Amino acid sequence: MRTNTRYTEAIQILCYIAIKQSNLPTSDKIAKSINTNAVVVRRIFKMLKDAELINIKRGYGGCSLKKETNEITLLDVYKAVETAENRQIFKFHEGLSASCVIGSKIEEILKEPFQEAQIALEEKLNNVTLENVIFNIEKQIIS
């Protein structure tokens, strides 16, 4: 399990903005809603803004989606907040290849299946849009 919760928080932030519980979503309101601190939200804001998923205004405040909910997939959000290089899921030990014939080859050999696995995972994330998620939220709220 990843040690960070940014991804799920980012999804929730986007849902909050899309559903517009408040007509002026601010980092403070969102923070209260997702049970964290406003600065944490702003840090995620920055990542989502850099990924061109949201617009943010200073001063009067308020943020909005930069795309339609059906144009934002869970993969887009993942790409926005995942900091690991190339979003690699598995990590190699430093100096692995230094002292051993096996070690010197294994990283290169494992790269291919690891890459394939990552692509398979990301394709699934790409199949789900923010619209899908919000539809399910609203369905649950109504029922």
The residues binding DNA (CB under 7 A) are: 3-6, 9, 24, 26-28, 36-40, 42-43, 45-46, 49, 56-63, 83, 93-94
- Shortest distance in whole angstroms from residue 23 CB to a copy of itself: 16
Answer whether 16's CB lies under 8 Å from 28's CB.
Answer: no
Q: Out of a copy of itself, DNA, none, which partner does residue 101 contact, by CB within 5 to 8 A per kind?
A: a copy of itself
Q: Does 142 bind a copy of itself (CB under 8 A)?
A: no
DSSP class of 61: -
Q: Out of a copy of itself, DNA, none, which partner does residue 61 contact, by CB within 5 to 8 A per kind?
A: DNA
- Give the CA distances from residue 84 to residues 11, 88, 107, in Å, rounded to whole numbers and listed in that order: 18, 6, 17
Q: Does 22 bind a copy of itself (CB under 8 A)?
A: no
Q: Out of a copy of itself, DNA, none, which partner does residue 124 contact, by CB within 5 to 8 A per kind?
A: a copy of itself
Give the CA radius of gyration of the chain. Answer: 19
Strand-strand pairing, 63-65 and 54-56: antiparallel
Amino acid at 51: A
- Shortest distance in whole angstroms from residue 139 CB to a copy of itself: 9
Q: Does 70 bind a copy of itself (CB under 8 A)?
A: no
Answer whether 72's CB lies under 8 Å from 132's CB.
Answer: no
